[in-house]
Structure 1
Amino acid sequence: MYSETGDSGVLRLTDRPVPEPGSGEVRVRVVRSGVNPTDWKSRRGALSHPEAVPNQDGAGIVDAAGPGVTGVAAGDRVWLWEAAWGRPDGTAQEYVVLPERQVVPLPHGASLDLGASLGIPALTAHRCLTVAEGGPDRLAPGALDGRTVLVAGGAGAVGNAAIQLARWAGAAVVATVSGPEKAALARAAGAHHVVNYRTGDPAAQIRAVAPEGADIVVEVAPGPNAVLDRAVTAPQGVVAVYANNGGDDVALSVRELFTRNIRYQFVLVYTVPEAVKDAAVTDVRAAVAAGALRVGEEAGLPLHHFPLERTADAHDAVESGAVGKVLVDVAPE
Structure 2
Amino acid sequence: MRAVTYSAFGDAAEVLNLKDLPPIPPGPGEVTVELAFSGVNPSDIKARSGTRPGVTEPPFPLIIPHSDGSGVITAVGDGVPTSRIGQRVWVWNGQWKRAFGTAASHITLPSDQAVDLPDAVSLETGAILGIPGLTACHAVFSGGLSKNQTILIHGGAGTVGYLAVQLAKWAGARVITTASPRNFDRVHAAGADVVLDYASPDLTELILDANGGQAIHRIVDVEFGSNIETNATVVAENGRINAYGSAQNMAPVFPFGAMMFKAVTLETILIYLLPANLRAAAVETLHRALVKGALTCPVQNVFTLEDCAAAHDVVQGGNRVGAVLISTK
TM-score, structure 1 normalization: 0.88
Contact 2:163 2:297 in 1 (8 A): no
Asked if 1:317 corresponds to 2:328, the answer is no
- 1:72 deviates by 6.0
CA distance in structure 1 between the aligned counterparts of 2:239 and 2:45, rounded to whole angstroms = 33
CA distance in structure 2 between the aligned counterparts of 1:72 and 1:125, rounded to whole angstroms = 31
Asked if 1:55 corresponds to 2:66, the answer is yes
Asked if 1:44 corresponds to 2:49, the answer is yes
Please name the residue that 1:187 is paired with. Answer: 188
Listed as ranges, the gaps of 5+ residues in structure 1 are 137-142, 297-301
CA distance in structure 2 between the aligned counterparts of 1:147 and 1:216, rounded to whole angstroms = 8
CA distance in structure 2 between the aligned counterparts of 1:98 and 1:286, rounded to whole angstroms = 25
Contact 1:144 1:166 in 2 (8 A): no
Asked if 1:17 corresponds to 2:28, the answer is no
Listed as ranges, the gaps of 5+ residues in structure 2 are 51-56
- 1:12 deviates by 0.2
- Change over 3 Å in CA distance of 1:107–1:272 after alignment to 2: closer
CA distance in structure 1 between the aligned counterparts of 2:169 and 2:93, rounded to whole angstroms = 25
Please name the residue that 1:77 is paired with. Answer: 88
- Match of residue 174, structure 2, among 166, 172, 175: 172
Contact 1:148 1:213 in 2 (8 A): no
1:86-165 pair list within 5 angstroms: 86-131=97-142, 135-136=143-144, 144-165=146-167
Query: Counterpart of 1:94 in structure 2: which amino acid?
Result: S
Bigger mean CA offset, 50-59 vs 217-226: 217-226
2:224 alignment partner, SS class: coil
- 1:322 deviates by 4.0
The alignment covers a number of residue pairs equal to 316
CA distance in structure 2 between the aligned counterparts of 1:97 and 1:254, rounded to whole angstroms = 45
Bigger mean CA offset, 209-218 vs 67-76: 67-76
Query: Counterpart of 2:123 in structure 1: which amino acid?
Result: L
Question: Identity over aligned residues, as a percent?
Answer: 37
CA distance in structure 1 between the aligned counterparts of 2:79 and 2:259, rounded to whole angstroms = 50
Please name the residue that 1:274 is paired with. Answer: 276
2:162 alignment partner, SS class: helix
Bigger mean CA offset, 68-77 vs 111-120: 68-77
- 1:283 deviates by 2.3
Bigger mean CA offset, 10-19 vs 207-216: 207-216
1:217-251, CA deviations, whole angstroms, 9 ceiling, x for partnerless residues?
Answer: 11111222122212321221112221113121223
Question: Cα RMSD between the aligned structures?
Answer: 1.9
Contact 2:76 2:82 in 1 (8 A): no
CA distance in structure 1 between the aligned counterparts of 2:279 and 2:83, rounded to whole angstroms = 19
Q: Which segments of structure 1 move beyond 4 Å, counting only runs of 4 or more?
A: none
Contact 1:72 1:105 in 2 (8 A): no
Please name the residue that 2:76 is paired with. Answer: 65
Asked if 1:6 corresponds to 2:10, the answer is yes
CA distance in structure 2 between the aligned counterparts of 1:31 and 1:70, rounded to whole angstroms = 22
- 1:29 deviates by 1.1
CA distance in structure 1 between the aligned counterparts of 2:46 and 2:65, rounded to whole angstroms = 10
2:43 alignment partner, SS class: helix
Query: Counterpart of 2:36 in structure 1: which amino acid?
Result: V
- 1:71 deviates by 9.2
- 1:186 deviates by 1.5
TM-score, structure 2 normalization: 0.89
Please name the residue that 1:262 is paired with. Answer: 264
Please name the residue that 2:210 is paired with. Answer: 209
